[in-house]
Structure 1
Amino acid sequence: MNDRALLTAMRLSDSLLPVGTYTASYGIEQYLNEDGIETADQLGNLIEGYLHGVIGPAEIVALGHAHRSAAADDLDGVLAADERLGAATLPAEFRDSSRKAGGKLLELLAETDDATAASGASESPSAADALGEVQIEGVVVEYTAACEAGRTDGHYPVALGVVCQRAGLDARDAALVNAYASVTGLLAAAQRLGRFGHTAIQSQLSGLFPAIEAVCDRYHDADLTAMCSFAPLADAMGMRHERADRRLFMS
């Protein structure tokens, strides 16, 4: 991975990226509300289950297919990944969170990277390269237009796959960005709910690295027809969260 690609990967996996993923706990809040998680190790085990049951076989499969489709300028392939991921995501809150984050990502890049490219055109190309710009053209424009027109949902992993491909990241690196951002988002949600300290969260994060690597290796180049999602208790928690009296997160 060159410097530009590395910077882009860091940018897209950073919680500083204002796409709203910090507002989603994907059921973690409900687990904590119902005292389903008591220790940091239990939290880590739960998130590892998310990796093997949802993030890998559903999100990364969709991301990988979108990445390959974007490389081939195949909008229909991107839309197919969007449709299948939406169908595999059962809780309404999870779908809503994913759609909103995907839309925000595309909107953010259209506002920032187009402007950067325009201002950098007459300046130093190396300075622009250091920002890790995404090429806002071709299938990115078409996909964004399809989202805005309501032709597709624009789920975050799909949008991320398209964006990473246009930014020069390969499919496995894009999968790592998605998996790392998902895991840190879940851990951060648990921390913000006041149950675990910084040290415990960092310990769980480092312990999850092997699982992140494993699911990315296994699913980044999987066929779209292989997509599946199996996390029944997490789905149930997500559905109960929709009706919970106490909610700090969107999901």
Structure 2
Amino acid sequence: MTTDPGSFLTALRLSDSFLPVGGYTASYGLEQYLNEDRIETGDDLRALLAAYLRRVVGPCETVALASAHAASGDGELERLLAVDERLHAVTMPREFRESSTKAGAKLSELVGSGSIEGAEPREEGDAGRAAPSPAADGGDLTAAMADAIETDATPGHYPVVFGVVSQSRGVARLEACLSHAYSFVTGLLGAAQRLGRFGHTEIQSVLESLEPVITAVCERHVDDDAAAMASFAPLAEIMGMRHERAGRRLFMS
């Protein structure tokens, strides 16, 4: 973890719903759960999001993000692209893939435009943070990843781009995983609220109760090998696939 103010603020920006990557358009199947009246109480919502964290965010997206962060730190573009392809392969519902790649492309575009500035390099141990590692060509991999996305050489999934951007901006790997998982949860809670089923107070109660799950999931999977990346949430995937053909849709996924 880092105590450097610049990197900490970058982590906050990346996890903020204010970041214009289109996250507000995605419910990752949550809308379909509500359409089919499978979620009626705050406890139902809490249980569903905890399952998402344990079955999808942790063993799949956190592994992808952490692996991308490590590959970016080592300047290994081919390894980074392999992580992206693996995530694409294990993400089954079409809407989930599209939401993730559109957000990834947008985040990459924001970085390229200078909207997310990098932190000043520091040596290992300075403010508890390792300096960002350069790529083999002398720069970080954000530009190379952006080129690969633009030329369709890689899908450009959001957790992968998130890992590259956070590493190049000096955000520690675990901190990046926590920021992403927190953003995922708050995004789905915001979707549940906008769908008119839950109020502010109940949403905050659910969020607070999920914080230990976020921490446990990220700590468990932050060091997993990319080959272990997997998602097992059959009902969530079915809800995502049904959402593709739903007659009533407020969200893209």
TM-score for both structures, normalised by structure 2: 0.90
Q: CA deviation at 1:77?
A: 1.2
Q: Which amino acid aligns with 1:105?
A: L
**Residue equivalent to 2:195:** 193
2:54 aligned to which of 47, 52, 55: 52
Q: Secondary structure at the match of 2:250?
A: coil
**Residue equivalent to 1:91:** 93
- Asked if the contact 2:63–2:223 (Cα under 8 Å) also holds between the matched residues in 1, the reply is yes
Q: CA deviation at 1:113?
A: 4.1
**Residue equivalent to 1:112:** 114
Q: Which amino acid aligns with 2:94?
A: A
Q: What are the residue-to-residue correspondences of 1:1-251 with 2, within 5 Å?
A: 1=2, 2-113=4-115, 137-251=139-253
Q: CA deviation at 1:138?
A: 3.1
State the distance in 2 between where 1:76 and 1:171 align.
19
State the distance in 2 between where 1:167 and 1:42 align.
37
- Asked if the contact 2:140–2:168 (Cα under 8 Å) also holds between the matched residues in 1, the reply is no
- Asked if the contact 2:104–2:162 (Cα under 8 Å) also holds between the matched residues in 1, the reply is yes
Q: How many pairs does the alignment contain?
A: 234
Q: Secondary structure at the match of 1:112?
A: coil
The sequence identity of aligned pairs, in percent, is 56
Q: Which amino acid aligns with 1:222?
A: D
Q: Which amino acid aligns with 2:173?
A: A
State the distance in 2 between where 1:14 and 1:46 align.
22
State the distance in 2 between where 1:138 and 1:7 align.
20
Q: CA deviation at 1:31?
A: 0.2
1:94-121 deviation digits (Å, cap 9, x = unpaired): 000000000000101111348x68xxxx
State the distance in 1 between where 2:228 and 2:140 align.
27
- Asked if the contact 1:102–1:157 (Cα under 8 Å) also holds between the matched residues in 2, the reply is yes
Q: Which amino acid aligns with 2:99?
A: S
State the distance in 2 between where 1:186 and 1:8 align.
22
- Asked if the contact 1:171–1:221 (Cα under 8 Å) also holds between the matched residues in 2, the reply is no
- Asked if the contact 1:157–1:178 (Cα under 8 Å) also holds between the matched residues in 2, the reply is yes
Q: CA deviation at 1:36?
A: 0.5
Quick check: which one's helix share is greater?
A: 1
TM-score for both structures, normalised by structure 1: 0.91
State the distance in 2 between where 1:183 and 1:204 align.
10
1:40-80 deviation digits (Å, cap 9, x = unpaired): 11001100000000000000000011000000110111101
Gaps of 5+ in 2: 119-131
State the distance in 2 between where 1:154 and 1:55 align.
17
State the distance in 2 between where 1:87 and 1:67 align.
19
